[in-house]
Structure 1
Amino acid sequence: MREIILVGTRQNERVKSLIVNQIQFLPIQCDLSNITSLIFTSRYAILSLIDSVKENPSLQNWYKLPSYVIGAGSAKILKEHHANIALIGSDAHGASFAKEIIPLLQGQTPLYVRAKNIISQLDEQLLHAHIHLQQVIAYDNQPKTLDPSLKPKSNDILIFTSPSAYKSFVMNFGWEGNYIAIAIGMTTFNSFDNGIQAFVSPTQSIDGCIDFANDLVQKLP
């Protein structure tokens, strides 16, 4: 029987988890005096900002600024901290998110709180649309070197939570032709190599990916 494995940065009690990256929060040293809104595409960006408040009190009122966010998980963290959520992206794909927020950001000075390395090109799209975008690097997503014995079996279903998770997995284990890949969103899906068996989860959340994987297990031989 195919096993479902979540590949990313966090454990999940519902399925076996394979941690292929580690997150390093970076200090956010800017202030928000000229910032009118915040953009988040990752939960780790939010958590890093919250962590940075300890050393940089000028950030303490961040939650009052309108926040534009991708992902139900990230939005949940914002709600837990009573943040001012202006928009939760209807699509986890960076290009679609850009189209949603560009009309709303005209005349604003948003701060994109982001990872050191990004693939979505959201920043380029906003700058191209003449948004007065500011950016700060809040965290680094670093690949881990894993023991070969952790390599999943050749017919397992692998859920990838980010492009970096896929990249780190392949760096450690290569790719078996019978693997089934599930991407949490289109940005992750587009990072997959050509020719692999892959699906995009209909719901852009880890729980949604797991539910989708369980459905696939019942349908696949």
Structure 2
Amino acid sequence: MQLTGNTIFITGGTSGIGLGLAKAFHALGNKVIIAGRRKALLRQISAEYPGIDGVELDISEAADIARVAKDLISDYPTLNVLINNAGIMPFDDASTPVEDAASRSILDTNLLGPIRMTSELVEHLKGQPRSTIIYNTSVLAYVPIATNAVYSASKAALHSYALSQRFMLRATNVTVQEIAPPWVDTDLVKKSGDPRAMPLDAFIEETMRGLGTEEHEVFVESIRAMRDNPGLGEHQLVHDFNQYIADNPIPV
């Protein structure tokens, strides 16, 4: 994608990776609009970074997505980049009954949220000279973490959706890119300062370089081996990865 001259909408833009991307794109002179559920925090960020606008959005609610999309098209007619970043990552245990409400919340937020948001804006994006849709998935889309089975499945499904949409948009001016983060030191689960987590600033710097290319998937070099999931050997890979996590649990 082009890194300058854009009008960019970022869901889940009040913290973590979303806010990091917002600040990076803002520093390059782009018009940035962030979405989140906390009005006070949106106002605080807009005051701290003049030029970053905030809109309230509950990404898990279809009606709210439709409302925000309508306002975006009206208020920001040059909108040409959508970054589907919002997500939640509750723990679960697939060896026991998984709470249905929790599963629905994850899927509404992590999978249906991006699908609905993109669906509301895709025709507008087609009308721009050049547009980009970005999905924030995860390395866990390729190698699931067993302590977050539904989350991992939601990211795998979003990766699959991005592949299909990229093909269907092949003859348009809309490109589709995917960000697949490793464990980044944010508050998605709990910001812990764990040395195994990649510092947010380093992740944003490497990711911005990747987004500035035409690569379909943007991932940091440290996860290449996990992205190159070894076909029929994936069962052992997933087992070994999760055994390591079991032996060295993530602080919660």
Question: Is the TM-score greater than 0.5?
Answer: no
Highest RCO, 1 vs 2 (Cα 8 Å, sep ≥ 6): 1
Higher helix share goes to which structure?
Answer: 2
